[in-house]
Structure 1
Amino acid sequence: MKKINSMYVIDDDRIYHFLLKNLFKQNGIEINSTFFNNGQEAIEAMKLHKDENDLPDLILLDVNMPIMNGWQFIEEYAKLKDRFSKCAIIYMISSSNDEVDINKAKGYGDIVKDYFLKPICKEDLDKIFVS
């Protein structure tokens, strides 16, 4: 398993938060997880961290959210990431199977590692946490 100690889940669907927590538990994944309802909440939290060890190792990011969507989050994160020596691995996780979204995610290859469709499953977790 990759060395991942902390994770941000940025998604406005609280049912998804619940399902994801259960999926982690069922698969023996213990990780310090912080859940946000939109990208702006997560960006604000990142700006407040004085200790880089408090920043996430992994971010699971939804595309469609109110206030600040996934694409807007990535743009803001790109501006911030140079301030930190630690960069998070970002996976886009969305219900959108639109080729435009999938290709757009690939365009952020230096920031976005991969794109998964909801709901994620054990095989997706293996790709995220093991490979």
Structure 2
Amino acid sequence: MKKFNNIFVVDDDLVYHFIIKKLFSKCNINVNTSYFFNGLEAIDDLKNKIQTDSEPDLILLDINMPVCDGWHFLEEFRKIKQNLSKDVTVYLISSSNDVSDLNKSKLYEDEVKKYYYKPMSQEDFETIFV
């Protein structure tokens, strides 16, 4: 099993938060998870956790959110990632199957490990955590 201690889930959908919690439980994954409803909340929290034990190891990031979407989050993340004490793995998880979003995600190949479609299956979830 891959070792992740602190995880950020950045998505404005409460149903998605519920599904992720159920997948953690079903797969017996015990991690510290912080949930955010937009990229601004997440990036602000991340900035406050730089060089602490609370930095996330993993970020599950939606694209389409109010206030600050996933693309803007990634731009801000790019600016601060060198200040983090560890490499943070980012997965995009979106309901968008638009080719332009898939292509845009490739512009962030240094930040984004993989693009997953919602709803996330248990098999997809396990490829991240197991």
- Aligned equivalents of 1:100, 1:52: Cα separation in 2: 36
Is the partner of 2:93 in helix, strand or coil? strand
- In the other structure, the counterpart of 2:111 is 111
Is the partner of 1:52 in helix, strand or coil? coil
- Aligned equivalents of 2:127, 2:24: Cα separation in 1: 14
1:71-98 CA-partner distances (Å, limit 9, x unpaired): 0000000001111131210000000011
Q: After superposing the two structures, state which structure 1 stretch, 24-33 or 42-51, moved more.
A: 42-51
Matches within 5 A, 1:1-131: 1-49=1-49, 51-130=51-130
- Aligned equivalents of 2:50, 2:125: Cα separation in 1: 30
How much does 1:107 deviate? 2.1
How much does 1:51 deviate? 4.0
- Aligned equivalents of 1:77, 1:36: Cα separation in 2: 15
- Aligned equivalents of 2:110, 2:104: Cα separation in 1: 12
Identical aligned residues as a percent: 50
Letter paired with 1:127: T
Unmatched 5+ residue regions in structure 2? Answer: none
Give me the CA root mean square deviation.
1.1
Letter paired with 1:56: P
The runs of at least 4 aligned residues of structure 1 exceeding 4 Å deviation read: none
Is the partner of 1:93 in helix, strand or coil? strand
Contact between 1:52 and 1:86, CA under 8 Å: does it hold in 2?
no
Is the partner of 1:67 in helix, strand or coil? coil
Unmatched 5+ residue regions in structure 1? Answer: none
Return the TM-score normalized by structure 2. Answer: 0.95
